Every structure is written in C-alpha cells, then in structure tokens.
Amino acid sequence: MTVASDREAFARVVTALGPYLDVLVFAGGWAHRLYELHQLSNPIDFEPLATEDADLVAPLRLEVRAEPLAQCLKAAGFTEEFRGDDTPPISRYHLGEEGIGLYVEFLAPLIGSPTTRTGAPRDTTVVGGVTAQTLRYVDLLLEEPWTVQLSERFGFPVVVEGVQIRIPNPASFIAQKLLVLEQRTPEKRPKDLLYVHDTLVLFSGQLAALQTSWRSVSGKQHPNVVKGLQARIDARFDTVDDLIRSACRIATESGRPSPPTPERFAAVCKIAARTVFALGG
C-alpha cells in the first residue's frame, strides 16, 4: 500500500472502532509511526518504518458495548478470518485483498500461567466480541498510555477531525519490545530492534519525560520484570552483533539520508535506554 492509502485505511480502523477508542491501545508498528505526531517528539529526517498490520491491545475485562468489535469492523468493510489452531482461533480483519491490504489483530495480556489446569495453552481469549492473542508483557502497553490526534492535515481522513487515539507511552513500548525480543521469530527481531532505536531517537530530547512514565509503570510490575529488563539492556547493547548489524541494514535500505552505523546504534540505545529506565553505572 502507498503511504497515502495506508493512512486512509488506518483512518477507517479508527473510525470503525470509535466506541472503543477510550479503552483500546494501538501498538506495534503503527504506534511507532504515530509517535511522530506527539508534541514531545523530535523532528526526524526519515520516514518511520511502515507496517501493514494494526495491533490493538485490549484489557482482559473489555465488555461489549453497542456493537461487538468484530461487528464494528465488518460494518466498515473489513473481512473477518480466523487463523491458527488455538481454541478459539485468533481473529484477523482485512481491508483489501488478503496479503496486500491493512489488517487488524487484537492482543491481550497473558497473566499467570501460560497453560490451563489441564495443560492446554492459554494462547487466546475473547475480549469485546473478538478473539485476541494473549502475550506476556502486553499489560505494559496498557499502562499510562499517551494520546495523539489524527487529522486530515497529517493524511488521516477521519470522520471526526482531531480524534484522539491511545498509544503506549514510549518507555513501555521500548520495555515490551526488549523483554520479548528473544521470543520473536528471527526475521522479526531486526525490525523490532530498529523500532527501539528509532523511538529513542524520536524522544531523545525528552528522556526525562520517558523516565517519569517508566517510574509510574515499573512501580506496578513484579521486581523480576524490572530486573529482567535491565539484564536485557546490558546484554543487548554492550557489544555489536549480527542482530544490530541487520537492524542498521534495514535503516540503510529504507533510504535514510544518515543511517546509523552499528557502533553508533548500540551506543545510542545503551545510553538512552539506561537513562529512560534509570539504570546506574
């Protein structure tokens, strides 16, 4: 999809889910792209990474409102499909030809054991009338979310000009990316790591604000989550490896005027992340 058409498609998602915008959080690649619209972000000389999937994080106790989430999307022209062997299967909603146009999926926090008492995996759950994939650390994305406004001026032809949508605060976004990085498939890790780098660059002038957000979020987390994050930051950015090189290659191939070198990439991430997450040393 072109830049214009994918923003139009995203605007249709936002309009369709209007009754739920106060409880849903737009995550993943679209959250990263939308950070550029936040008043605390720095101007950048490159286009944020594009993505065709719109991940929405829903709280576990999301009740159906006037219409279920699925009906809201189908009424707006999205096609429903189910994927995976889970019970129930994950819901996915396509706009456009399958495999080409934007698609919507829902995520929900995995709290407690990953299996039921009978040993069955707890990979999915029903929220608001759709089946969401349950993932560890997704709850971080629901804590202290930020908001951005969409408008025609930014290429989003929404029905309500200036409509506000919720995105994860950048500290939670970065923390969640780092905590699950090693569980992601190998082909997705370089892009996820580039999301971390680029988000830190976008808010490099506001690291204190990100640290404030993280202090509020981390106080609600188990101490092991905070310790695990520190260990991952130290291990990930202390040395340059093939994953960092691959992330830099993506930045270069996207046509950026000044793509980071692997050494600068690692240094920026380490220094900025240690500031955001208040790590001494």
Ordered DSSP codes for 11-30: HHHHHHTGGGTTT-EEEHHH
Angstrom distance (rounded) from CA 184 to CA 250: 17
**pLDDT (tens digit per residue) in 138-189:** 999 999 999 999 999 999 999 888 999 999 999 999 999 999 999 999 999 9
Confidence band (pLDDT; 50, 70, 90) for 97? Answer: low
**pLDDT (tens digit per residue) in 29-50:** 999 999 999 999 999 988 888 8
Beta carbons of 110 and 122 less than 8 angstroms apart: yes
What Å distances lie between residue 108 and 50, 94, 133, 219, CA to CA? 23, 19, 6, 21
Residues in the chain: 281
Q: Which residues pair with 104 in a beta bridge?
A: 54, 93
Mean pLDDT over residues 204-226, rounded? Answer: 95
C-alpha closest to that of 1 among 72, 105, 94: 94
What does the pLDDT read at residue 95? 86
Please state the domain extents for the chain. Answer: 1-168, 170-281
- Angle, CA of 254, 260 and 261, to the nearest 5°: 120
Mean pLDDT over residues 64-92, rounded? Answer: 88
C-alpha closest to that of 107 among 160, 58, 179, 42: 58
**pLDDT (tens digit per residue) in 263-278:** 999 999 999 999 999 8
What Å distances lie between residue 170 and 23, 116, 194, CA to CA? 18, 33, 14
Using alpha carbons only, how large is the chain's radius of gyration in Å? 19
Residues near 271 by beta carbon (within 8 Å), at least 6 away in sequence: none
What does the pLDDT read at residue 51? 85
- At residue 157, the 3 state secondary structure works out as coil
- Give pairs for 34-41: CB < 8 Å, separation 24+: 34/148, 34/165, 34/167, 35/148, 35/167, 35/170, 35/199, 35/202, 35/203, 36/202, 37/148, 37/149, 37/150, 37/154, 38/146, 38/148, 40/203, 40/205, 40/206, 40/209, 41/202, 41/203, 41/206
